[in-house]
Chains A and B, each alone.
Chain A
Amino acid sequence: MSDELFSLADQVLADAKPGEAAEIVVERCRDTQVRVYGGQVESLSSAVSEGVGVRVVVDHRQGFAYAGTLDPAAVADALAEARDNAAFATADEHVGLAEPDGVAVPDLALFDPALGTTATERKVQLATDLERAVLAADPRITGLESADYVDSTTESVVASTTGVRSSSRDGVCYVMANVLAERDGETQLGFGFSVGRDPAALDVDLAAADAAERATRMLGATQPRSQRVTIVLDPFVTAQLISIISGTLTGDAVQKGRSLFADRVGDEIGSPSITLVDDPTDIRAFGASQTDGEGLACRRNALIRHGALDHFVHNTLTARRAGTTSTGSAVRGGFKSVPAVGCRAVGLAPGQLDQDQILAEVGDAILVQSVSGLHSGVNPVSGDFSTGAQGVRVVDGQRGEPLREFTIASTLQKMLRDVVAVGSDVEWLPMKASGVTLAVTDVTVSGA
Chain B
Amino acid sequence: MIDEDVIQATIGTAMRTGGEFAEVFVEDRRSTGAVLDDGRVEDLSSGRDRGAGIRVVVGDTTGFAHTADLTEAGLRQAAEAAAAAAKGGSGGTRVVDLTRQSAPRPNAVRTLPEDVAKATKVELLGRADEAARAQGSEISQVMVRYGDNRRRILVANSDGLLADDDQVRTLFSISCVANGDTGMQTGRESIGRTVGFELFDIYDIEDLARTAARRAITKLQAVPAPSGSMPVVIGKGGGGVLFHEACGHGLEADLVAKKASVFAGRKGEQVASPLVTLVDDGTMAEEWGAYSIDDEGRPAQRNVLIQDGVLTDYMWDHLRARKEGRPSSGNGRRQSYQHLPMVRMTNTYMGNGSDDPAEIIAATDHGVFVAQLGGGQVNTATGDFVFGMTEAYLIEDGKVTSPIRDGNLIGNGPEVLTRIDMLGNDFEMGHPGTCGKDGQGVPVGDGTPTLRVTSLTVGGTAA
Query: CB within 8 Å of B: which residues of A?
Result: 37-38, 40-47, 49-51, 62-69, 71, 74, 77-78, 81, 84-90, 92, 95, 120, 142-146, 178, 180, 187-189, 218, 223, 226, 228, 255-258, 260, 336-338, 372-373, 375-379, 381-384, 386-388, 404-411, 444-448
Q: Which of A145, A256, A376 has the most CB of B within 10 A?
A: A376
Contact with A88, one of B44, B50, B457 (Cβ below 8 angstroms) = B44
Contact with A along B440-463 (1 / 0, CB 8 A): 000000000000000001111111
Q: Is the interface of A mostly helix, strand, loop or mixed?
A: strand
CB atoms of B408 and A47 under 8 A apart: no
CB atoms of B184 and A381 under 8 A apart: yes
CB atoms of A336 and B386 under 8 A apart: no
In angstroms, Cα B48 to Cα A178, docked, is 35
CB atoms of B44 and A89 under 8 A apart: yes
Residues of B within 8 A of A89 (CB): 40-44
Q: Which of B172-189 contact A (CB under 8 A)?
A: 177, 179, 183-186
Residues of A within 8 A of B39 (CB): 90
User: What residue of chain B has the Cβ atom nearest to residue A442's Cβ?
Assistant: B461
CB atoms of B85 and A44 under 8 A apart: yes
In angstroms, Cα B407 to Cα A379, docked, is 9
Contact with A405, one of B46, B405, B411 (Cβ below 8 angstroms) = B411
CB atoms of A85 and B45 under 8 A apart: yes
* Interface stretch of the complex, out of B15-23, B57-65, B304-312: B57-65
Residues of B within 8 A of A67 (CB): 47-49
Residues of B within 8 A of A45 (CB): 63-66, 85, 340
CB atoms of A85 and B64 under 8 A apart: no
Minimum CB–CB distance for B180 against chain A, Å: 11
Residues of A within 8 A of B380 (CB): 189
Minimum CB–CB distance for A42 against chain B, Å: 7
Contact with A260, one of B65, B183, B457 (Cβ below 8 angstroms) = B183
In angstroms, Cα B227 to Cα A377, docked, is 14
Minimum CB–CB distance for A415 against chain B, Å: 11
User: What residue of chain A has the Cβ atom nearest to residue B245's Cβ?
Assistant: A373
CB atoms of A180 and B260 under 8 A apart: yes
In angstroms, Cα B378 to Cα A189, docked, is 11
User: What residue of chain B has the Cβ atom nearest to residue A371's Cβ?
Assistant: B386
Given A45-B63, A376-B375, A405-B384 contact (CB < 8 Å): yes
User: What residue of chain B has the Cβ atom nearest to residue A85's Cβ?
Assistant: B44
Interface size class of B (residues with CB under 8 A): 35 or more
Residues of B within 8 A of A77 (CB): 48
21 pairs from A and B in contact (CB 8 Å cutoff): A38-B60, A44-B61, A46-B85, A47-B65, A74-B48, A90-B41, A92-B40, A188-B381, A189-B381, A255-B38, A256-B141, A257-B177, A373-B375, A376-B377, A381-B185, A382-B405, A388-B459, A405-B412, A406-B410, A409-B408, A447-B457
Contact with A85, one of B46, B48, B184 (Cβ below 8 angstroms) = B46
Minimum CB–CB distance for B230 against chain A, Å: 10
CB atoms of B177 and A258 under 8 A apart: yes
CB atoms of A42 and B388 under 8 A apart: no
Residues of B within 8 A of A388 (CB): 377, 384-386, 408, 410, 459
Q: Is B262 located at the chain interface by the 8 A CB criterion?
A: yes
Which A-B residue pairs are the 3 nearest by beta carbons?
Answer: A407-B459, A376-B388, A373-B386
In angstroms, Cα B87 to Cα A81, docked, is 42
Contact with B461, one of A47, A381, A382, A444 (Cβ below 8 angstroms) = A444
In angstroms, Cα B228 to Cα A43, docked, is 44
Q: Is B326 located at the chain interface by the 8 A CB criterion?
A: no
CB atoms of A258 and B228 under 8 A apart: no
Q: Which of A68, A84, A120, A178 has the most CB of B within 10 A?
A: A68
In angstroms, Cα B460 to Cα A407, docked, is 8
- Interface contacts (Cβ under 8 Å), in number, total 275
Q: Which of B62, B228, B407, B459 has the most CB of A within 10 A?
A: B459
Contact with A407, one of B118, B219, B227, B255 (Cβ below 8 angstroms) = B227
CB atoms of A381 and B66 under 8 A apart: no
CB atoms of B406 and A68 under 8 A apart: no
CB atoms of B43 and A63 under 8 A apart: yes
CB atoms of B49 and A68 under 8 A apart: yes
Q: Is B221 located at the chain interface by the 8 A CB criterion?
A: no
Q: Which of B338, B385, B411, B457 has the most CB of A within 10 A?
A: B457
Residues of A within 8 A of B50 (CB): 68-69, 74
In angstroms, Cα B224 to Cα A383, docked, is 12
Q: Is B376 located at the chain interface by the 8 A CB criterion?
A: yes
Q: Is B106 located at the chain interface by the 8 A CB criterion?
A: no
Given A44-B63, A257-B177, A446-B228, A377-B43 contact (CB < 8 Å): no
Given A376-B377, A388-B410, A407-B68 contact (CB < 8 Å): no
In angstroms, Cα B405 to Cα A381, docked, is 12
Contact with A along B313-338 (1 / 0, CB 8 A): 00000000000000000000000001
Q: Is B51 located at the chain interface by the 8 A CB criterion?
A: yes
Q: Which of B233-275 contact A (CB under 8 A)?
A: 255, 258-260, 262
Q: Which of B54-82 contact A (CB under 8 A)?
A: 59-69, 81
Minimum CB–CB distance for A115 against chain B, Å: 18
Q: Which of B342-384 contact A (CB under 8 A)?
A: 374-377, 379-382, 384
User: What residue of chain B has the Cβ atom nearest to residue A380's Cβ?
Assistant: B186
Q: Which of A84, A145, A188 has the most CB of B within 10 A?
A: A145
CB atoms of A44 and B408 under 8 A apart: no
Residues of B within 8 A of A74 (CB): 48, 50
Contact with A47, one of B179, B338, B374 (Cβ below 8 angstroms) = B338
Given A256-B38, A376-B376, A407-B408, A338-B45 contact (CB < 8 Å): yes
Minimum CB–CB distance for A8 against chain B, Å: 14
Given A382-B184, A382-B405, A386-B225, A446-B68 contact (CB < 8 Å): no
Contact with A409, one of B40, B68, B119, B461 (Cβ below 8 angstroms) = B461
User: What residue of chain A has the Cβ atom nearest to residue B57's Cβ?
Assistant: A43
Residues of B within 8 A of A446 (CB): 227-228, 410, 457-460
Q: Is B427 located at the chain interface by the 8 A CB criterion?
A: no
Q: Is B229 located at the chain interface by the 8 A CB criterion?
A: yes
Minimum CB–CB distance for A227 against chain B, Å: 9
CB atoms of A410 and B461 under 8 A apart: yes
Q: Is B422 located at the chain interface by the 8 A CB criterion?
A: no
CB atoms of B48 and A37 under 8 A apart: no
Residues of B within 8 A of A338 (CB): 43, 45
CB atoms of A42 and B61 under 8 A apart: yes
CB atoms of A65 and B227 under 8 A apart: no
Q: Is B112 located at the chain interface by the 8 A CB criterion?
A: no
Q: Is B285 located at the chain interface by the 8 A CB criterion?
A: no
Contact with A386, one of B47, B141, B258, B407 (Cβ below 8 angstroms) = B407
CB atoms of A257 and B179 under 8 A apart: yes
In angstroms, Cα B228 to Cα A228, docked, is 12
In angstroms, Cα B276 to Cα A310, docked, is 54
Q: Which of B390-414 contact A (CB under 8 A)?
A: 405-408, 410-412
Beyond the given A376-B408, A447-B228, could you list 12 further A-B residue pairs with CB under 8 A, ordered by the A residue number?
A43-B340, A69-B69, A120-B85, A218-B382, A338-B43, A382-B184, A386-B225, A388-B459, A407-B227, A407-B408, A409-B460, A444-B227
In angstroms, Cα B59 to Cα A84, docked, is 50
User: What residue of chain A has the Cβ atom nearest to residue B122's Cβ?
Assistant: A88
Q: Is B37 located at the chain interface by the 8 A CB criterion?
A: yes
CB atoms of A62 and B43 under 8 A apart: yes
User: What residue of chain B has the Cβ atom nearest to residue A226's Cβ?
Assistant: B228
In angstroms, Cα B382 to Cα A146, docked, is 16
Q: Is B288 located at the chain interface by the 8 A CB criterion?
A: no
Residues of B within 8 A of A68 (CB): 47-51, 68
User: What residue of chain A has the Cβ atom nearest to residue B340's Cβ?
Assistant: A43
